[in-house]
Homo-oligomer: A and B are copies of this chain.
C-alpha cells in the first residue's frame, strides 16, 4: 500500500525540517545515521525531494539539506505522489476495475472523500 521509500522520505523530510535551517544545513550522513536509513539509498530519495521542491540543498563543504518556505506546509500526499505515484489515488480501494461513481463499490464514496486530489 505504501512503499518503504515513502516512509523514508517522510521521516527524512521531518528530520530536516526539525534539525535544519538555511544557515544550518543537514548532511546526508547525519540524516541516514539519525534515522537508520541506508546512506546511498537515502541519497536518491533526497534528490527526488529536492527536485520536487519539498526541500532545498547545496553542495560543497558545509552543504546539505534544509527546509524552504514551503516545506512546513506541504501535504503528506505530495510526498506520497513523488515516491509511490498516483496509484493509491486513482484506483478503487477494493481493487475493483469497474468501480466508479455510477457503479460504486461499498467503499467508493468514503474513499473518494479522503482522496482530495
Complex: how many Å from CA A94 to CA B12? 11
A97 touching B1, Cβ below 8 Å: no
Q: Is the interface of A mostly helix, strand, loop or mixed?
A: loop
Complex: how many Å from CA A7 to CA B107? 14
Query: Which A77-109 residues sit within 8 Å CB-CB of chain B?
Result: 94-97
Query: Which of A2, A7, A11, A95 has the most chain B CB atoms closer than 10 A to its own CB?
Result: A95
Query: Which of A11, A36, A97 has the most chain B CB atoms closer than 10 A to its own CB?
Result: A36
Enumerate 14 A-B pairs (CB-CB under 8 Å) in ascending A order: A1-B1, A1-B2, A1-B7, A2-B2, A7-B95, A8-B95, A11-B94, A11-B95, A35-B95, A35-B96, A36-B95, A36-B96, A36-B97, A37-B95
